[in-house]
Chain A
Amino acid sequence: MRSLRAQIVDAAIALLNTSPPAGIPFAERIRFEPYGPEDLPAINVMPVREESEKKTGRWGPLLTRGFTLRVECRVSGSPADVILDPLLVWAGQSLGGQDFGLLAEDCYETLCEWSYAGSDQNYSMASLDFRINFSTLSNDPTRNSLLTP
């Protein structure tokens, strides 16, 4: 059984890859290999952080989790922010407000950072973090309710 976190990442990537508009690339999951100029534009999705808190007390069953999912968009060309913008818009439209099929309580953008590098072409990146709030049983990260088997 997979954790709710992993299922949320599955669902997020599926949403990003559902009928993206023209010019928007399919999202990859934690790509390690460098992109060549011919691979751009590109979207790489990765979990980066999670904080947990037990709000139900010592004997309560639930762990409240704040999960950060990062959507990294890389492009070449100028003006960089203009070329990156449609990718960021698509990520926001795909993931903003999602509950990922009742796996999560909310999902919203928390931070976007842009980076630039001049080389044989102008390369740019925008890293967009989504905060995803969800809960699991404190003794089982694969379940979010006492009722589900």
Chain B
Amino acid sequence: MPNFYQDADIPFLLCETGVWIEIPGAPRMKGIVDYASKEYLQTLQIAGIRGTAITAVVQTSALPSPLANKTPLIVDGQPMILRDAQQEGDGAITVLLCERPPP
């Protein structure tokens, strides 16, 4: 009988490559962060704005509930604001979409 990863295994999977994420109302947790460049607001296929999609993959059960959009976060030491939280697959992990606070 195969062994499937369970919810309790997720912190172990995230601890190697994850960075610390701090969310008010929850213990500090590890998450895998991606910074992916993307071009927005192009017209006539030129001169868009090069933004960065900032995502953090975390364990859903480690998140406070409810987790409201616009919650301030600390991601790898950087202040961020939660744009949205979207569960993936069976819901065991959640992708946090982050934005930088205004300068």
Interface residues of A, Cβ cutoff 8 Å to B:
30-37, 40, 44, 46, 48, 70, 72, 74, 76-78, 115-125, 127
Additional A-B contact list (10), CB under 8 Å, known A70-B43, A117-B51: A34-B47, A35-B47, A35-B49, A36-B49, A74-B41, A78-B102, A117-B49, A119-B52, A119-B53, A120-B98
For A48, list chain B residues within 8 Å (CB). 44
Interface residues of B, Cβ cutoff 8 Å to A:
38-44, 46-54, 83, 98-100, 102
Cβ contact within 8 Å between B51 and A32: no
Give chain A's interface secondary structure class: strand
Give chain B's interface secondary structure class: strand
Cα separation A127 to B39 with both chains bound (whole Å): 17
When the two chains form the complex, which single residue of B41, B46, B52, B53 contacts A31, counting CB atoms closer than 8 Å? B46
Task: Looking at the assembled complex, report how far the CB atom of B103 sits from the nearest CB atom of chain A, in whole angstroms.
Answer: 9
Cβ contact within 8 Å between B41 and A120: no
Task: Looking at the assembled complex, report how far the CB atom of A13 sits from the nearest CB atom of chain B, in whole angstroms.
Answer: 15
Lowest 4 A-B CB distances belong to which pairs?
A119-B51, A117-B40, A34-B50, A120-B52
For B99, list chain A residues within 8 Å (CB). 118-122
Cα separation A35 to B47 with both chains bound (whole Å): 6
Cβ contact within 8 Å between A118 and B83: yes
Cα separation A119 to B52 with both chains bound (whole Å): 6
Chain A: CB-nearest residue to B50 = A34
A77, A78, A115, A119 pick with most chain B CB within 10 angstroms: A119
Cβ contact within 8 Å between A35 and B50: yes
B50, B54, B99, B100 pick with most chain A CB within 10 angstroms: B50
Cα separation A124 to B40 with both chains bound (whole Å): 9
Q: List 25 A-B contacts (CB under 8 A).
A: A32-B47, A33-B47, A34-B39, A34-B42, A34-B47, A34-B48, A34-B49, A37-B49, A40-B49, A46-B44, A72-B47, A76-B49, A115-B41, A117-B40, A118-B83, A118-B99, A119-B38, A119-B40, A119-B52, A119-B53, A120-B51, A120-B53, A123-B41, A123-B51, A124-B41
For B41, list chain A residues within 8 Å (CB). 74, 115-117, 123-125
Cβ contact within 8 Å between B49 and A74: yes
Task: Looking at the assembled complex, report how far the CB atom of A15 sits from the nearest CB atom of chain B, in whole angstroms.
Answer: 21
